Chains A and B, each alone.
Chain A
Amino acid sequence: MAGSDRRQFLLLALGVAVGGGAGVLARRAGIETSAPGRPRPPGAGAQGDFLAACIRCGQCVEACPWSTLHLTGLGDGVGAGTPTFDARRVPCWLCEGYDAPLCIEACPTHALRPLADLREARMGTAVLDEATCLAFLGTVCRACWHACPYPNEAIVFDEMLRPVVVPEVCIGCGLCEHACPTEGASAIVIRPHEAS
Chain B
Amino acid sequence: MTNQKVVGDFPKSKSAILQMIDVKKSFGDKKVLDGITFEVEEGTFTCICGPSGCGKSTIINILAGYLEADGGQCKFQGQPITGPDVNRLVVFQETGLFFWMSLWDNVLFGPRNQGKDLRVAKQKARELIEMSGLLGFEKKYPPQLSGGMQRRAELIRALINDPKVLLLDEPFRGLDAMTRELMQAHFVKVFEETKTTMVLITSELDEAVYMGDRVYFLSTIPTTVKKQMPIPISRPRDFKQLASKEFSELVVEAYETMEAEAMKTFLTIKREVDKKKLFEDEI
Q: Please determine whether chains A and B interact with each other in the same assembly.
A: no
Which of B's residues lie within 8 Å of A, judged by CB? none
Which of A's residues lie within 8 Å of B, judged by CB? none
